Amino acid sequence: MKEIIGFLKKGGMKWPFKSTPPTLPTFPIGPYRLDLEIGELTGLREFSTIEYRAVMRQFKGERIYYAPDVDFAGYKWKVFLNVVGRKIYKITAYIETQDKDLANVAAMDTFLYCKSQIGEPAKQRSEIFIWEAVDGEVALKTTQIEEGFEINLLMTSHAVRNFSHLR
What is the spatial distance between Cα 67 and Cα 80, in angstroms, rounded to a whole number?
Answer: 6
Beta carbons within 10 angstroms of residue 112's beta carbon? 13
CA quadruple 59, 62, 66, 70: dihedral, nearest 10? -70
* Domain ranges, ordered by start, for the chain: 2-12+32-162
Q: What is the pLDDT of residue 43?
A: 97
Confidence of residue 65 (pLDDT cuts 50, 70, 90): very high
Choose between 100 and 10: higher pLDDT: 100
CB 53 within 8 A of CB 159: no
Of the chain, the percentage scoring pLDDT greater than 90 comes to: 79
Q: What is the pLDDT of residue 78?
A: 98
